[in-house]
Amino acid sequence: MNKRIEEAYAKRPKNWVYNTVLAVITIGLIIWSAGVVETSGSTAGGGQIARNVLKGLFTPDLKFLFDFSTSGVPYLMLETLCIAFLGTIVGAIISVPLAFISASTLAPKPIAFIGRMLIMAIRTVPNFIYALAFIRVSGPGPFAGLLTMGVCSVGMVSKMYIEAIEDLDVHVVESLDAAGCNSWQKIRYGILPQLMPNFASTAIYRFDINLRDATILGMVGAGGFGAPLIFAMNGYRWNEAGAILAGLIVLILIIEFISTKIRVKLTRG
């Protein structure tokens, strides 16, 4: 056998120790977590309940589904849509300054670090706690819901804004610098045109998520379809719950379709 080849073979990266350790840790974690699969025991007659639930969900209450008064599904969906929309806008606006001070490429290191910690803290507080806090401000209802949505959006949206800002193409700014622009002009003509499509796209993406997350708000009394849904489910009125879920699925599919279209347009120009 050729000597050079033997040498090359001997020089092969040997990372089996690392791989084995990683595998052992992963498997250990899985075994550790598997212990979690515990339950207070299936409620009596689980099968019967399951059948009722499925039957109700697949035969939605059509009268409720097509009730166009303020107590019907369409209005609930509209309300949720409005909460999510305005909440997203509020969140998207708050996120802009927060993202700029937390971007490590623009702001000084300590400030950026504090900004990031703040964003993380905002993200970690569960949304029903915000909802309860805002109910103290405005009383129960959609207003509290939209404020909650706003704050909850800040976490993810500003995180994605930061990434967009850090990925900025600085060569454009360089060329503007060379052309003799001042700081404001550099931001206006060099940075904003790059960021705008990205920011808009992020906001639309978050709008999608907010629609789904609106359920939990309703549960604590902050408006939207959550409250009627939970009442229906707790009262075992499964066809009512089915009607709300059907409305929700249709709404989300439509919004998702539109938002994907807009986002594709934004990124491709």
Partner 1 sequence: MKLYDKIFRPTVYTLPNGKSVEKKASRAPFYALIVLIMCAVSVKITGFDMKILVTRIGQFFVIFQRMIPPKKEIMSAVWEPLFDTVKMSLIGSLVGSLLSVPFAMLASTNVCKNRVVVSIVRLMFSIVRTLPTIVTALIATLFFGLGTLAGTIAIAVFSFAYIGKLTYEEIETVDMGSFEAMEAMGSTKTRAFITAIIPQVLPFFLSNCLFNFEGNVRYAAILGYVGAGGIGILLNERMSLKDYSSVGMMLISLLITVFIIESISRYFRKKLV
Partner 2 sequence: MIKFEDVGKRYPNGFEGLKHINLSIEQGEFVAIIGLSGAGKSTLIRTINRMHDVTSGKLTVDDVDVMSLYGKQLRRFRRKIGMIFQSFNLITRTTVIKNVMTAFVPDMPWYRSTFGIYNKEEKIKALECLDKVGILDKAFVRADQLSGGQQQRVALARTLAQDPQIILADEPVAALDPVTAKQVMDDFKRINEDMKITVLINIHHVDLALKYASRVIGIREGEIVYDGPASDVNEEVLTKIYKGKVDNEGNVQEEEG
Q: Which residues bind partner 2 (CB under 8 A)?
A: 1-2, 4-6, 8-9, 11-13
In 3-state terms, what secondary structure has residue 22? helix
Using the minimum distance from each CB to partner 2, give the nearer residue, 6 or 163: 6
Among 74, 85, 93, 263, binds partner 1 (CB under 8 A): 85
Burial code (b: 16+ CB inside 10 Å, e: under 16) for 41-50 equals: eeeeeeeeee
Q: Which does residue 180 bind out of partner 1, partner 2, none, counting CB within 5 to 8 angstroms by kind? A: none
Using the minimum distance from each CB to partner 2, give the nearer residue, 11 or 171: 11
Quick check: 263 and 205 in contact, CB under 8 A?
yes
Q: Which does residue 118 bind out of partner 2, partner 1, none, counting CB within 5 to 8 angstroms by kind? A: none
Is 86 one of the binding residues for partner 1 (CB under 8 A)?
yes
Stretch that binds partner 1, among 91-99, 165-173, 179-187, 241-249 (CB under 8 A): 241-249
Q: Which does residue 178 bind out of partner 2, partner 1, none, counting CB within 5 to 8 angstroms by kind? A: none
Q: Which does residue 36 bind out of partner 1, partner 2, none, counting CB within 5 to 8 angstroms by kind? A: partner 1
Contacts of 199 (CB under 8 A, 6+ apart): 92, 96, 161, 164
* 166: its two tokens: 């850090």
Quick check: 102 and 158 in contact, CB under 8 A?
yes
Cα(107)–Cα(179) distance, integer angstroms: 24
